[in-house]
Amino acid sequence: MVCATVKHPPGTESLCLDKPQLISNDRHAPGKRDTVPLQSNELQTIWKWNKTVPCSIEQCIDKLFEERTQAHPMAPAVCAWDGNFTYGELDEISTRLCQKLVQMGVGKDSIVPLCFEKSKWMTAAMMAVIKTGATFVTLDPAYPERRLSEIVKQVSAKTIISSTRYEALGLRLVDTVVSLSEKTLTMKNGDDNLGSPIGIARSTPSSILYIVFTSGSTGTPKGVLTEHRNVASAVYHQADRLGINESSRFFDFSSYSYDVSISNILAILIQGGCVCTPSDEDRLGNIPGSIKTLNANITAITPSIARLLDPESVPGLLRIILVGEPVRASDISRWKAPSHAICRYGVSEASAASTIRDSFTPADQPSNIGTAAGLVTWIVDPNDHEKLCPLGAIGELLLEGPSLSRAYLKNPEKTATAYINDPEWLMSGAYDYTGRPGRLYKTGDLVRYAKDGSIIYVGRKDNQVKVNGQRVELGEIEHHIQECLPDEYQQVLVELITLPGENSRPKLVAFIQQRPN
């Protein structure tokens, strides 16, 4: 057990930020601590911070894209290693593919996996599926085929859209693959009519836009259902703080299977910017050169990747959004004006972004992840979400607001555990603040409030970790390793370990115990 005493800054004694708590560092027994009563003045302060839930933007992503296209059809939408699209061209290409998909029976209630290397065609495929009224799910072809097969099975996919490079992989997963290339999508004939396909069931704001799969503790990936209005709301409330606008040229570094990539592509297109797509080879081996070639000025990367970049090698990169891993003070200070580094914390269940830290002082803790963006943040007892934590106490972070996803795919038990409704403290309010009904997501992250209401990240209450910005259940890795081992190996334990050294990156290490004799 680790005893953590939170000291209060001078002049803030009334906020009771000096209460001691106990928190277990054993990932198999999380969240144990002494209970400290919540004072009435603390409740008032918490409600002052959280009195207003941001409004929901009841819009569809294809409609928002259409508005941008009509306003600026010649503006660059995609600048990739394999070609470019203006907004007008992307609209035409995606409409052409949409028509083809509708003729094949794709539409409302369909789920269409997309399987591409980094390419301009992924963005076209994404927009085409959205226009059909269907839902897309991105597959990383670098993943084990067994995992891809499990995802395709979960979504009951009948059709996959792929690049020509991964057409054979797609055919091993489903019977029908639409392979995209210049030839298949630029052929025109006299019957072309690039209006909306007749008979299409258009999406509504509550329609499922995409499904992103995260790690599952039992070895089975779990799908998060994200609605159109979740993404529309997130972009509306977060774009200014992230610096995403019409002049943004976003270097899309992350794997397509990560929610960070999906959310950033959609945000850029909604805001009228340009998605800059490197090749997989450049993404892994020549980041500075690719950033300069594509003339990118903003990106989202993990701190460990950012540490590999020399700021002087990418002078055009004006904004670096650090995601997915703890941030050190040096990660911020090394990016000097005109470059600017900010931190973004998020979960797939809240459209990939939840808090943003966009200003820094020398006194700030590196573990401070900022303030809520398009959401409201609450901190509760890790063992009882019906109890709010006192100010300064460590507890579980809960999120409330319009960017919360709908549910987990075909998993009502997990959904009921992670998404809760109308806790008593929310319904009751405080002396000066009226209570309200609400739906909240339990993140499993342990945090505490700073004196200004920003959030300080502490760790996890379970056995989930982040590797290269991707959430991973250690139990899932242990499960798959155990399946591969002979019977004489009785136990597997996986931990995330960081060796000493400024630039050392966290590594997953498996400890395997053999049976006696």
* Predicted confidence (pLDDT) per residue in 24-61, tens digit: 334 333 344 445 678 999 999 999 999 999 999 999 99
Asked whether residue 148 is assigned to any structural domain, the reply reads yes
Alpha carbon distance 73, 86 (integer Å): 7
pLDDT per residue as tens digits for the range 408-444? 999 999 999 999 999 999 999 999 999 999 999 999 9
Q: Are residues 509 and 423 in the same domain?
A: no
Pairing of the two strands 298-301 and 249-251: parallel
The Cα–Cα gap between 445 and 486 comes to 35
CB atoms closer than 10 angstroms to residue 310: 8
Q: Is it the case that residue 383 has pLDDT exceeding 80?
A: yes
User: Which pLDDT band, with edges at 50, 70 and 90, does 508 fall under?
Assistant: confident
> How buried is residue 162: exposed, middle or buried, by Cβ count under 10 Å (0-12/13-18/19+)?
buried
pLDDT score of 480: 61
292 & 435 share domain: no
DSSP one-letter code for 38: P
- Give the contacts of 286 (CB within 8 A, at least 6 positions apart): none
Backbone φ/ψ region at 199: left (φ over 0), alpha (ψ -120 to 50), beta: left
Provide φ and ψ at 333, rounded to 5°: -65, -25
Q: Are residues 167 and 273 in the same domain?
A: yes
pTM of the model: 0.83
CA distance 93 to 73: 13
Provide the pLDDT confidence category of residue 305 given band limits of 50, 70 and 90: very high
3-state SS string for 258-269: CHHHHHHHHHHH
The burial class, CB within 10 Å (0-12 / 13-18 / 19+), for 385 is: middle
Same domain, 167 and 94: yes
* Whether pLDDT at 3 is above 80: no
The residue ranking higher by pLDDT, 152 or 337, is 152
Q: Are residues 144 and 249 in the same domain?
A: yes
Tell me: do 392 and 298 sit in the same domain. Answer: no
Claim to verify: residue 497 and residue 455 sit in the same structural domain: no
Structural tokens at position 194: 């690039």
pLDDT at residue number 216? 62
Are the C-beta atoms of 409 and 223 separated by less than 8 Å?
Answer: yes
Radius of gyration, alpha carbons of the chain: 23
Q: What DSSP string runs through 334-359?
A: TS-TT-EEEEEE--GGGTT--EEE--
Domain count, the chain: 3
379 within some domain: yes
Q: 193: pLDDT confidence band, cut at 50, 70 and 90?
A: low
Q: What is the pLDDT of residue 20?
A: 33
Q: Which residues of 274-293 are buried (b: 16+ CB within 10 A; e: fewer)?
A: bbbbbbeebbeeebbebbee
The average pLDDT across 272-296 equals: 97
Separation CA 138–CA 156 (nearest Å): 14
Of 29-38, 248-257, 498-507, give the range with the top mean pLDDT.
248-257
Same domain, 161 and 35: no
| pLDDT beyond 80 at 194 | no
Range of the domain at 483: 470-514
pLDDT in tens, 121-154: 999 999 999 999 999 999 999 999 999 999 999 9
Residues 6+ apart with CB under 8 A from 230: 209, 350, 351, 402, 403, 404, 405, 406
Say if 454 falls within a structural domain.
yes
pLDDT at 223 over 80: yes
**Do 314 and 257 belong to one domain?**
yes
Examine residue 194 and state whether it is found in any structural domain, yes or no: no
Q: CA 177, CA 159: separation in Å to the nearest integer?
A: 6
Structural domain includes residue 355? no
Phi and psi (nearest 5°) for 156? 55, 45
What is the CATH classification number for the domain harbouring 228? 3.40.50.12780
Residue 18 covered by a domain? yes
61-71 vs 120-132: helix crossing angle, rounded to 10: 120
Residue at 108 is within a domain: yes
Residues 452 and 488 in one domain: no
Claim to verify: residue 174 and residue 87 sit in the same structural domain: yes
d(CA 175, CA 369): 45
The total of other beta-carbon atoms located within 10 Å of residue 407's CB is 18
Same domain, 37 and 71: no
In angstroms, the CA 349 to CA 279 distance is 29
**Pick from 46, 33, 39: nearest CA to 433:** 46
Q: What is the DSSP letter of 123?
A: H
> What pLDDT score was predicted for residue 189?
42
In degrees rounded to 5, what are phi and psi of residue 189?
Answer: -145, 175
Q: Is residue 363 part of a domain?
A: no
Pairing state of beta strands 464-467 and 470-473? antiparallel
Q: Are strands 249-251 and 274-277 parallel, antiparallel or unpaired?
A: parallel
Residue pair 127/72 in contact by the 8 Å Cβ criterion? no
